[in-house]
Structure 1
């Protein structure tokens, strides 16, 4: 079990200049983003949901630190300890690419923040069961046309509504996924206070629809289609 000290909130947030380095890591839940903030106060790990929207790179700017707290969690058969900063906002000036050494400075076995929020850890591969006689194939479950009737078989986790809607890529699915943001305009500002899984689905769908994140405005903008020469 991870040992975590409760975050101690400051009387007022602290605004500091610094550089935020973001790294995208591939995990069992898909890609996730972790950050490292270097300031004159020290170097802190950052895993706020807001970072899920930004591409990998180095960002100079001013950062509003809400609180700083120690964090420890099991990883790779041991424990990892780090000092984290929780951000209350930021103003970014631009983005630079990561060097190979900078990318390697991040732990490739870093725990997905989504797993932390759900209280789960990557499970070990299950042992291979012994061969037994094949049981009779169960009858298929018919889905009900009534949306209020749950036809999910017992013991099977149904995907969240937002994730299920996003997988379809239809207009109705997009309306469910983006909720009050639908219909989308030329620019979109996502709400990073929603659950992280839904935020990731929104980010992935915006990229599919041709939107691109502008770090300076912190908004997604629809990219104009290239005109033939």
Structure 2
């Protein structure tokens, strides 16, 4: 999601002022955010992956709406229908805490957007892994080499796989090594995004909702 409304927009997008209310719900996949956007053109549910990063609260700002559609999903007592807005970006100017009444206004059976995405994925038969994808394991006996012919494992790569930072490098990909400020890519799969968010908190980063990036806190010891 773009950081600001000051960008060239698709012809179908509109920019509107409004207030976004975010509620954090703890589900079977862990905590997730659901949102409600109140604007001059209407009230909408918002469940974009970008919102996974933000703490619960009420945010004032301007919002780029990419499209609006209706969504229906089953609940324990029937079906629920909502009008959902998909955002192309936003510029936030302030945040307030939710009152108890505002928090209780959200449905208790909110569906985790991750479950929606997983349910929408087509079922495909498991593919047989290609020979090249089989991990190469060298014998611990120096007189026996169990690697396939022509395959070499560089010493640097073997050392990197045992590095304490190797898991973080795999998690963050091109963002690694992390700098003083980190801008997450909300277009990756939602499950990975949630793990990145949780890990940034452990590593001493905090979200600046106005700049929409994570900044390292100066008094934090490296994890």
Aligned counterpart in structure 2 of residue 195 of structure 1, from 181, 189, 192: 189
Checking the alignment, whether the CA contact within 8 Å between 2:68 and 2:84 is kept in structure 1 is yes
- For 2:76 and 2:95, how far apart are their aligned partners in 1? 32
Tell me the equivalent position of 1:148: 134
Written as runs of structure 1 = structure 2, the 5 A alignment for 1:45-64 is: 45-64=45-64
Alpha carbons of 1:74 and 1:46: their partners in 2 closer, same or farther (altered >3 Å)?
Answer: same
Gaps (5+ residues) in structure 1?
1-9, 121-145, 151-168
Q: Does 1:44 align with 2:47?
A: no
Tell me the equivalent position of 2:108: 108
Aligned residues: 175
TM-score, normalised by the number of residues in structure 2: 0.75
> How far 1:22 moved relative to its partner?
0.4
TM-score, normalised by the number of residues in structure 1: 0.73
Checking the alignment, whether the CA contact within 8 Å between 2:72 and 2:80 is kept in structure 1 is yes
Written as runs of structure 1 = structure 2, the 5 A alignment for 1:1-229 is: 11-119=11-119, 148-149=134-135, 170-225=164-219
- For 2:29 and 2:51, how far apart are their aligned partners in 1? 16
Q: Any idea what SS the aligned residue of 1:12 has? A: coil
> How far 1:149 moved relative to its partner?
4.2
Q: Which structure has the larger Rg?
A: 2
Q: Any idea what SS the aligned residue of 2:13 has? A: strand
Gaps (5+ residues) in structure 2?
1-9, 121-131, 137-162
Alpha carbons of 1:170 and 1:23: their partners in 2 closer, same or farther (altered >3 Å)?
Answer: farther
- For 2:61 and 2:107, how far apart are their aligned partners in 1? 24
